[in-house]
Amino acid sequence: MSPAPIRAAFAQAFREAWAGGAGVLLPASFFAGAAMLVPFAVGSDSDQLAAIGGGVLWVALALASLVTMERLFQADLEDGALDLWVQADVPMSAIAAAKVAAHWLVSGLPLALLSPLLGLMLQMEPDRLPPAMLAYGIGGLAFFLWGAFGAALSATVRRGGLLIALIALPFYVPTAIFGAMSLQAEVPMPLIETLFLSAATLFSMAVAPFGIAAALRLATD
């Protein structure tokens, strides 16, 4: 098995996500906008904001990860590129993983990098921001993998955005739980919670690409 098709799939998905700039800006503005509304909605009391800030960002991250998901595989299905990828000489799961990785790099990583700024705005303690950023990065990857699974399953459905959310959100729960626990612990970056958070992401990395591949085969059938 040659890695060339996987690299090509990554390159194509990266360019696709980057084209027009919406791949970066849309989720990032959604993430920032959702976080920004919170002080207006719950009041600007510092202690209250500090208590809920980390959790609010998890919710905002989960929703922002779904914003650009709908076109991820649907575009490939409609323009015929998916037929060509299904026929490439590598397992579809590897192609799927490469596509999700490229998509996460463009749309997901910027969200984690943006989180310290939003955390500051929500009165999180400054020394907690870097470990929180790492947690958002790890958890965000799981969100993108499960979101992509939902996107693959609903690729044949017109306006399937709602369906993606319905499919993906239950899979987000473990990451949300362990992610929130890692922020609420006594010390920044607690070992056990971070390990559980990472385990949830590793599980999604191990399972989601195969689920996506199976769903895409059904979509082309």
Interacting residues with other proteins (CB under 8 A):
2, 4-5, 7-9, 11-12, 15-16, 19-20, 75, 78-81, 83-84, 86-89, 220-221
State the virtual CA torsion across 112, 23, 101, 31 in degrees, nearest 10. 30
Can you say how many angstroms the Cα of residue 80 is from the centroid of all Cα atoms in its chain? 25
Q: Which two tokens stand for residue 11?
A: 């390159």
Give the shortest CB-121-to-other proteins separation in angstroms.
35
**For residues 19 and 162, which CB has a smaller minimum distance to other proteins in the complex?**
19
Give the shortest CB-216-to-other proteins separation in angstroms.
11
Give the shortest CB-149-to-other proteins separation in angstroms.
21
**For residues 89 and 186, which CB has a smaller minimum distance to other proteins in the complex?**
89
Report the half-sphere exposure of 18 (CA within 13 A, side-chain side): 9
Alpha helices in the chain (DSSP H): 4-18, 22-42, 46-64, 71-79, 81-86, 92-103, 109-121, 129-153, 161-184, 191-220
**For residues 80 and 126, which CB has a smaller minimum distance to other proteins in the complex?**
80
**For residues 9 and 66, which CB has a smaller minimum distance to other proteins in the complex?**
9
Give the shortest CB-220-to-other proteins separation in angstroms.
5
Nearest residue to 60 via CA among 17, 25, 29? 29
Report the half-sphere exposure of 220 (CA within 13 A, side-chain side): 19
**For residues 9 and 183, which CB has a smaller minimum distance to other proteins in the complex?**
9
Give the shortest CB-82-to-other proteins separation in angstroms.
9
